[in-house]
Amino acid sequence: MSPKIGAFFPTRDMPSDPNQIRKWTLAAEEIGFDYIEVSDHVLGADREKHENFDGPYDVDDCFHETFCTLSFMAAITTRVGLVSGVLILPQRQTALVAKQAAQLDVLSDGRLRLGIGVGWNPVEYDALGENWKTRGQKQNEQVQLMNNLWTQRTVNFSGRFDTVRNAGINPLPKQRPIPIWFGGQADAALKRAATYGSGWIPLGNPGTNSANALDKLNKFLSDEGRDPKTFGIEAWIRFGDGNPEVWMSTAKKWLTLGADHLTFYTSGQGAGDTDQQIEEMRKFYEVCKSL
């Protein structure tokens, strides 16, 4: 079976211009991509004011808001899938995310896939009033609650982080539940993915670390009585790693490891302006279609 091919929205390179966002989005659908993926950061830290901050992004990196951007894309497209990659779930209110995702799924006619992670930036958690130290535990509970809210008229839920007393969201999403994919390679993330997820987003390269993580994931899936062959694997292939020949080589390595989704990651990779981004996307799509 041919892999699904995705285009990662170049948020760090995209100006605050709806016309440019529209142009890129329509081009991704016209080229033939199966899905568009939008990343997430609510806030960026001022690197000069935070001692010992060594994160890959800061306040000078542009991150268009995930749900708003995906909703805009849903309104101007008809076919292409819509993915969050990855939404930092534990720094948000669970019921609100469930509501936002359900509405986006309705507006897109069931085209949403929710990719989630726990993040890496405690500055962001502090500003949003959430606990950095319990983020993994909270995510575990959040997924259970969201699945209930997406599939039940009313929910009665009592957990460590959230309590819902006989309440529900309306409208419910078209997909019940919305598929959730987990990002990251930590053992805890792999375990949550195997227990609650529909797929995994490694975020890294197809080397030894990813291969070892995949072995662990497959064991966790087997422990849950799930067939790894029905579990999705989405690989990111970065523009900055090289030319189309390199992209093809990397894609083949990922396919050998079991990936069934290949995403072209150009954000902050030096791919150029919107027109140049689109041209590189065409090249990547042709590479993947030839596999």
List domains and CATH numbers for the chain.
Answer: 4-289 (3.20.20.30)
Cα separation values, 65 from 167, 227, 233, Å: 28, 35, 25
Closest CA to 178 of 80, 96, 104: 104
Q: pLDDT tens digits for 57-106?
A: 999 999 999 999 999 999 999 999 999 999 999 999 999 999 999 999 99
pLDDT of residue 50: 94
233 confidence band (pLDDT: 50, 70, 90) = very high
Give the CA distances from residue 243 to residues 36, 171, 237, in Å, rounded to whole numbers and listed in that order: 21, 45, 11
pLDDT at residue 1 is higher than 90: no
Q: Which tokens hold the place of 75?
A: 């309104």
The C-alpha angle with vertex 258 and arms to 255 and 264, in degrees rounded to 5, equals 50
Q: Bridge partners of 180?
A: 114
The pLDDT score that the predictor gives to residue 106 is 98
pLDDT at 60: 97
Question: Please, where are the H alpha helices in 80-161?
Answer: 94-107, 122-127, 135-151
In this structure, are residues 167 and 145 in contact, taking their beta carbons and an 8 Å threshold?
no
Tell the burial category of 16 from Cβ atoms under 10 Å away from its Cβ (0-12, 13-18, 19+).
exposed
User: What pTM was computed for the model?
Assistant: 0.96
According to the model, what pLDDT value does residue 126 have? 97
Mean pLDDT of the chain: 97
Residue 15: strand, helix, or coil: coil
Over residues 230-252, the mean pLDDT reads 96
For residue 36, give the amino acid letter: I
Distance CA 139, CA 192 (A): 9
Structure-block tokens of residue 104? 């986006």
Q: What does the block give as tokens for 129?
A: 């009033």
The string of pLDDT tens digits covering residues 29-63 is 999 999 999 999 999 999 999 988 999 999 999 99
Separation between Cα atoms, residue 153 and residue 103, nearest integer Å: 15
Q: Residue 129: what residue type?
A: G
**Percentage with pLDDT > 90 across the chain:** 98
Q: By the 8 A CB rule, do 80 and 109 touch?
A: no
